[in-house]
Amino acid sequence: MDTKLVTDITRWLKTTDLAEFCYQKDHNCIEIKTRDALPAPVVSECHLTAVTAPAIGFYHAAQKGKNLVLKEGQVLKEGDALGLIESAAKKHTLTAPVAGTLRIISAEDGKPVEFGQPLFFIEP
């Protein structure tokens, strides 16, 4: 590739708001990135399973007269009780969808929840 062409492209790139530029002609290719170019995004895998609210309502850790204590780090079996959501129409029981370790509890007893709001995270 012609060095004059590379110099011209670099000079032109400085006059724009572009952070990177790729030029390809025939079998030649040049890629130029300025200091403003964003780094490649970090991809991480999440192995946690979210338990979300099935309806709008109020989260309760246990039904009246019963006691359910959940702690982060607690080992759960699939189907273990996680509490309930009380909506205007009915009570929705929350159960563990997978067996594993309860890693995050974001639900608070007696607090309102939105449909789809993550309440618990379980590591299978």
Residue 40 lies in a domain: no
Residue 86 lies in a domain: yes
For the chain, 124 residues long, give each residue's pLDDT as a single digit of tens.
578 877 887 788 788 888 788 878 787 787 877 777 667 777 778 789 999 999 999 999 987 777 888 999 999 999 999 999 999 889 999 999 999 999 999 999 999 999 999 999 999 9
Judging by DSSP bridges, how do beta strands 57-60 and 81-86 pair with one another? antiparallel
Residue 92 lies in a domain: yes
Which pLDDT score, from 0 to 100, does residue 56 have?
94
Which pLDDT score, from 0 to 100, does residue 1 have?
59
Q: DSSP string of 87-101?
A: -SS-EEEEE-SS-EE
Residue 42 lies in a domain: no
Residue 38 lies in a domain: no
Residue 72 lies in a domain: yes
Domain extent for 12: 3-33
Answering whether pTM is above 0.85, one says no
Number of domains in the chain: 2
Which pLDDT score, from 0 to 100, does residue 43 have?
77
In 3D, which of 38, 20, 21, 26 has the Cα closest to residue 2?
Answer: 26
Are 13 and 64 found together in one domain? Answer: no
Residue 43 lies in a domain: no
Are 59 and 105 found together in one domain? Answer: yes
